[in-house]
C-alpha cells in the first residue's frame, strides 16, 4: 500500500497552522500589554526617592513607570506619558512617577529636560526598587490605586488611549 506520510503530515500541520493563524488574528497589540504579577491586588512595595514617597500619593492613582534612557520603547512611550500626565494634572486624579532602571542620573535629567515631563523621578541606584516590584526589563509600568493597591502591570511601551481605557476599567472595578 502506498504511504500516506505526506498527506498526513500536511493535514496535521494544517490544523496546527490554522490554530496559529487564529491565535495571531486575535492577539492584542503589544503596546500597553497587561501582564500578570504577584503584586496584583496587594499593597504596593515601598517606593521612596530623594524627595518622593508613594505614600504621599495616597488618594491618587499612580502610574509607576520603570524606564531607562537607553531603551528605545521607553523613548517612544515618553510623549504618551507626558500626554497622560498633562491630562490628569488639573483633575489631580492620577499622576506618573518614573523609576530609573540602571541608568545614569545625569542622562535622566538631560532626557527630561529635553523631552518634557514634570513628575517625580526616583533613582534606583542599587536596583532594590526594581527587584521589589519584580521588574524584568524596561519599560514596565504599574497602576497603583488610591488605596495603595497594585491594580495592573503593563509590559512594553504605553499608548495613552489604551492607558486611559485601563484606568477607566480600574476605576470602575474599585
Partner 1 sequence: MRAALGTAGVTLGLAGAVLGLLTIAAGLARNRLDLQRRGVASVWVVLAGAVVAAVAMEWALLSHDFSLQYVAQNHSLATPFVYTVASLWAALEGSIILWCLVLAGYAAAVVHRFRHQRDDRLVAWAVLALLAVCVFFFALMLGPANPFRTISPVPADGPGPNPLLQNHPLMAIHPPFLYLGYVGFTVPFAFAVAALVTGRLDEGWLSVTRRWTVIAWGCLTVGILLGAWWSYEVLGWGGFWAWDPVENASLLPWLTGTAYIHSVMVQERRGMLRVWNLSLLLATFSLTILGTFLTRSGVLDSVHSFTESPIGPWLLAFFGAVVATCLGLIGWRGDLLRAPGRIDSPLSREGAFLANNVLFAAFAFVVLLGTVFPLLIEAVNDDRISVGEPYFNRMVTPVALALLFLMAVAPALPWRKASTELLRTRLQWPAWGGAAALVVAVLVGARGLSPLLAFALGGFAGVAALRQLGLAARAARRAGRSPLRAITGRTNGGMVVHLGVVIVAVAFAAASSYSTSVKLRLEEGETRSVSGHEVTYLGVEQYRVGDRRVVKARVQVDGGRIYEPALTQFPNATQTIGTPSVAWGFREDVYLTLAASPEREGGPAIIGVIIEPLVSWLWIGGGIMAAGTALSVVPGAPRRRATDPAPAGDDLVAAGR
User: Cell numbers of 106, please?
Assistant: 545625569
Q: Rule CB under 8 A: say whether 118 interacts with partner 1.
A: no
Q: How many residues does the chain have?
A: 174
| Strand (E) or helix (H) holding 33 | strand 33-35
Which of 60, 70, 93, 149 binds partner 1 (CB under 8 A)? It is 70
CA nearest neighbour of 81 among 114, 105, 123, 115: 115
Q: Which is nearer to partner 1, 91 or 106 (CB)?
A: 106
Q: Rule CB under 8 A: say whether 10 interacts with partner 1.
A: yes
To the nearest whole angstrom, how small is the minimum distance from the Cβ of residue 5 to partner 1? Answer: 7
Close Cβ partners of 164 (under 8 Å, ≥ 6 residues apart): 84, 87
- Chain positions 24 to 63 lying near partner 1, rule: CB under 8 A, are 24-31, 33-36
Neighbour tally for 35: CB within 10 Å: 15
Q: Which is nearer to partner 1, 89 or 108 (CB)?
A: 108
User: Cell numbers of 139, please?
Assistant: 519599560
Binding site for partner 1 (CB under 8 A): 2-7, 9-11, 13-14, 17-18, 20-21, 23-31, 33-36, 70-73, 75-76, 78-79, 104, 106-107, 110-111, 114-116, 136-137, 155-157
Amino acid at each position: 500500500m502506498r504511504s500516506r506520510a505526506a498527506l498526513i503530515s500536511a493535514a496535521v500541520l494544517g490544523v496546527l497552522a490554522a490554530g496559529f493563524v487564529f491565535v495571531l488574528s486575535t492577539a492584542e497589540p503589544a503596546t500597553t500589554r497587561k501582564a500578570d504579577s504577584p503584586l496584583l491586588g496587594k499593597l504596593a512595595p515601598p517606593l521612596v526617592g530623594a524627595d518622593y514617597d508613594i505614600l504621599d500619593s495616597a488618594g491618587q492613582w499612580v502610574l509607576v513607570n520603570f524606564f531607562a534612557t537607553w531603551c528605545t520603547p521607553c523613548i517612544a512611550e515618553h510623549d504618551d506619558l507626558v500626554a497622560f500626565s498633562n491630562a490628569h494634572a488639573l483633575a489631580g486624579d492620577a499622576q506618573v512617577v518614573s523609576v530609573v532602571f540602571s541608568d545614569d542620573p545625569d542622562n535622566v535629567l538631560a532626557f527630561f529636560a529635553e523631552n518634557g515631563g514634570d513628575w517625580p523621578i526616583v533613582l534606583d541606584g542599587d536596583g532594590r526598587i526594581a527587584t521589589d516590584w519584580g521588574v524584568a526589563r524596561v519599560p514596565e509600568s504599574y497602576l497603583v490605586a488610591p488605596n495603595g493597591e497594585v491594580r495592573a502591570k503593563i509590559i512594553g511601551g504605553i499608548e495613552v488611549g489604551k492607558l486611559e481605557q485601563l484606568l477607566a476599567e480600574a476605576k470602575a472595578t474599585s
